[in-house]
Structure 1
Amino acid sequence: MIEQIDKEYVLHTYARNYVNFKRGVNATLFDENDKDYIDFTAGIAVVSVGHGNKRVADKIYEQVSNITHISNLYAIEPQALLAKRLSELSDMDIRTFFANSGAEANEGAIKIARKYGETHFKEKKYKVITLTNSFHGRTITTVKATGQDAMHTPNFSPYPDGFSHLNSIQDIYTSIDDETVAVMIELVQGEGGVQPFDKKEIQKLAKFLKEQDVLLIIDEVQTGVYRTGEFLASNLYEIKPDIVTLAKGLGGGVPIGAIMTTHKDIFSPGDHGSTFGGNYLVTAAALEVLDILEEIKDDGSLDATIIYFNSKLNAIYENNKDLFTANVGLGLMRGLRVKDAQTLALIIKTAFEYGVLVLKAGQNTLRFLPALTISKEEMNEGFKRLENALNKIKQG
């Protein structure tokens, strides 16, 4: 029923799996037949505190029962409190603009960089350097910022100019010219294959860019909000970027994006805006999400979950080296390199049949992004099912 309606009325932008999920409890989903699935995807790193989280649901209900939205023409108390919390958790002297998604957050970051390049220098600077295999969004500008050739089809051209995509961090040093205003990177490339960069390499780059007065934008849409174990991957790498973008896990499932910048007075009224961005609903939900995540970080349970999950994942890797070539990632942003793309597709399909949800990243990476609140029981069951699926594949 749902498949027929979806195909008739929804634009075909996804190769969907037509399971009909009806409810969820933490990292477990149930379909219309009440079959359960262990969810190692969390809605692509979004449902950070699990499905059906009662504390978040209660906070959303409380807020919707009073005010859902009034627009940014008026002060919004939970928005202001959330901005303060982000500054405290990031350990950065920042102001924040709230948007509705990661792509919007990255658009705003690019606008900040370009205004900086227009107002801070005698001669205009506007060019932004990104990296091959990066992913920064699907708007026209963030598609161009994305360093994947497959995203730059003629269908949507012409694209905005001023973007270049380099193969490595080392290439950045020799590619900055008199018109370069910013470098924009992910510390762990998510869509590009769950590829973390070396910490010392990033610290060296951050120091160099500061000396050159080139802004460093860190896209933490996927890595942020404790996904790598610390509030920001930037905290883990011990750097202080000029701009950080967040989205995904910040709202626990409600749409929110954030642009955090140390250039606190860069925007003037009218420079940027959003009708829905940072409204009562999403910022109230995000504050509750952060309360939950701070608690599990402070009591040690998040770190314990990361250690346990990665031990189970490594066991899968060690037991199946005929299928996998590497175990990669940080925190609860993990991946297994698969020997070829055909095998990867078969693993995802067979795992689903066995009741466990996993993702693809890049051309050959099996990606894991579980809820940060996933239980030991859910991890045990999920990896047992995955092992059974892999055994089925090897048996033919």
Structure 2
Amino acid sequence: MNLEEQDKQYVLQTYTRDYTNFVKGVGSTLYDDKGKDYIDFASGIGVNSVGHGNETLTAALCEQAKNIIHISNLQVIEPQAKLAQKIVELSGYDMGVFFANSGAEANEGAIKIARKYGETKFDYKRFKVITLEHSFHGRTITTVKATGQESFHTPNFSPYPDGFSYEKSIEDVYKAIDDETVAVLIELVQGEGGVQPFEKEEIQKLAAHLKSEAILLIVDEVQTGVYRTGEFLASNLYEIEPDIITLAKGLGGGVPIGAVMTKHKEILSAGDHGSTFGGNYLSTTAGLAVLDVLHPLYDNGIIDETLVYFSQKLQEIVSKYNHLFEKEVGLGLMRGLRAKSADIQGNVIKNCMSEGVIVLKAGRNTVRFLPSITISKNEIDEGFKRFEKAISSL
């Protein structure tokens, strides 16, 4: 039985898989079991923030695994406390942190905080959460319902939780607020929705309005956080101060971790929320190692240099292949090329795999790029050389 047969027989088929079998990664290069190398412009959908085989991360994980991998959250966990402090300090916000295992779990925690805020801070119950069309917030029953894409709300998993609505634009949010609204949940750059950033001024205006109405602003930074947009948080880039922020993906460098942070540190009490695995020794040690790698790169301007260089490459592609792509979209190292049709998008992604460069699909016919934050200029050059070869025949 080969690997593909094994997978199809024993693994639930919830993914449309490519059956390339990767066996090794170095930096932003992956190698399959036949020895072919691939430039990785996907980083595990924005997870491998320090690339593959990073020495600092792997050394920290090996050392921690020799001692303690996991204990329960009924005891204090030293790297968890240290990572919480580090995240808060890097954010520049006065917040507390709860650790989970994924972005969906972090968003679940954010919604629970908002619901309890709505229950305890007003004379009458507030529970409604407004999100935006084209948003994506997770795959649990609640976060699927919070996702503003009707294709996710199939009857197969109904009934869904009440209390969510979706607006087409930021301007529509104002009209949707009523006396039962407790929070607005947004991504500053919609990832699955087409790598689409919002305008800084409209976000700042919304944040000020929500603050004046005592309505919570929740920013989903599962994909945008941990230097993906150039700053530690996209919220920093937009110069706003959310009430709640969620993180995951790049924080662990490949080890599952999620985090919800809030300035309303008094809302949750003992027993209100929990996680068996969340914030354990292994995952929070990984988070500390990732930040030990990335923060100096940010301080020294290297992340800025990388994102500018990557953007220049994308602009060259759009200029040269304007019969395939309408424009470049995104921020930092969360980028996309808006293809002129779904067929073009599909063919680009397929051809790229054949040519040894990995890219992703996103909404609005977007070819998505989420390289590691540590990707080198040589890897960028080689990746775009292969990308151009992949699209030259289209």
Specify the TM-score bucket, using the shorter chain as the normaliser. Answer: over 0.9
Query: Structure 2: which amino acid aligns with 1:145?
Result: A
Aligned twin of 2:250: 249
Query: Structure 2: which amino acid aligns with 1:133?
Result: H
Aligned twin of 1:27: 28
Separation of aligned partners in 2, 1:114 and 1:256: 23
Aligned twin of 1:153: 154
SS at match of 1:37: strand
Aligned twin of 2:342: 341
Query: Structure 2: which amino acid aligns with 1:268?
Result: S
SS at match of 2:67: coil
SS at match of 1:372: coil
Aligned twin of 2:177: 176
Q: Given the two structures, how large is their TM-score scaled by the length of structure 2?
A: 0.99
Aligned twin of 1:290: 291
Separation of aligned partners in 2, 1:134 and 1:245: 14
Separation of aligned partners in 2, 1:70 and 1:351: 43
Query: Structure 1: which amino acid aligns with 2:249?
Result: K
Please show how residues 86-235 of structure 1 align to structure 2 within 5 Å.
Answer: 86-235=87-236
Please show how residues 269-288 of structure 1 align to structure 2 within 5 Å.
Answer: 269-288=270-289
1:19-40 superposed Cα distances (whole Å, 9 cap, x missing partner) = 0000000100000011000000
2:220·2:246 contact (CA, 8 Å) conserved in 1? yes
Query: Structure 2: which amino acid aligns with 1:13?
Result: T
1:217-266 superposed Cα distances (whole Å, 9 cap, x missing partner) = 00000000000000000000000000000000000000000000000111
Q: 1:343: Cα distance to partner? A: 1.0
Query: Structure 1: which amino acid aligns with 2:307?
Result: I
1:104-126 superposed Cα distances (whole Å, 9 cap, x missing partner) = 00000000000000000010000
Q: 1:161: Cα distance to partner? A: 0.4
Separation of aligned partners in 2, 1:215 and 1:300: 33
Please show how residues 72-91 of structure 1 align to structure 2 within 5 Å.
Answer: 72-91=73-92
Separation of aligned partners in 1, 2:344 and 2:314: 18
Aligned twin of 1:388: 389
Aligned twin of 2:322: 321
SS at match of 1:65: helix
SS at match of 2:335: strand
1:330-356 superposed Cα distances (whole Å, 9 cap, x missing partner) = 000000100100110010000110000
Separation of aligned partners in 2, 1:363 and 1:208: 29
SS at match of 1:367: strand
Q: 1:175: Cα distance to partner? A: 0.8
**Where in structure 1 do 4 or more consecutive aligned residues deviate above 4 Å?**
none
Separation of aligned partners in 1, 2:238 and 2:209: 15
Separation of aligned partners in 2, 1:356 and 1:113: 41
Residue identity (%)? 66
Separation of aligned partners in 2, 1:309 and 1:168: 29
Q: Please, which runs of 5 or more residues in structure 2 have no aligned partner?
A: none
Separation of aligned partners in 1, 2:41 and 2:57: 20
Separation of aligned partners in 1, 2:34 and 2:175: 58
2:338·2:364 contact (CA, 8 Å) conserved in 1? no
Question: How many correspondences in the alignment?
Answer: 393
Q: Please, which runs of 5 or more residues in structure 1 have no aligned partner?
A: none
Q: 1:300: Cα distance to partner? A: 1.3
Q: 1:363: Cα distance to partner? A: 3.6
